[in-house]
Amino acid sequence: MKITVSRKKLSTTVSGDTHRYLHSLVKSGRAGTIAEAVDLVAERVQRLERRARLERDTAAYFAGSPAGVQKEEARLEQALSDSVDEVSFEE
């Protein structure tokens, strides 16, 4: 059974560089069509935006947390790091 994804029509113009890049994604096989290439690029941008938001939120959390919380976080980080050193990945 083939699963189809609902798609929305998008008609627009892009720069020559963008057009060449999208076609290169299709030509290289990383995307099957220009529409898939646009989806691929949009997914990458969304992933980068989520990472940036997580980084900002994490930095804000630590900047606003009391010193005691920061010390506890550092202690837990060290404990986790030490425990990884004790794990044998060859077993």
For residue 61, what pLDDT is reported?
87
79: in domain: yes
**Average pLDDT, 10 consecutive residues per value, the chain (91 residues):** 74 97 98 96 97 94 86 91 76 64
Which tokens go with 18?
């963008």
36: in domain: yes
For residue 66, what pLDDT is reported?
87
**Residues 6 or more apart whose Cβ sits within 8 Å of residue 30:** 37, 40
Q: How does DSSP classify residue 31? A: -
For residue 11, what pLDDT is reported?
93
62: in domain: yes
Range of the domain at 25: 17-84
12: in domain: no
47: in domain: yes
1: in domain: no
For residue 25, what pLDDT is reported?
98
For residue 67, what pLDDT is reported?
85
Domains of the chain: total: 1
Nearest to 42 by CA among 84, 7, 82: 7
For residue 82, what pLDDT is reported?
86
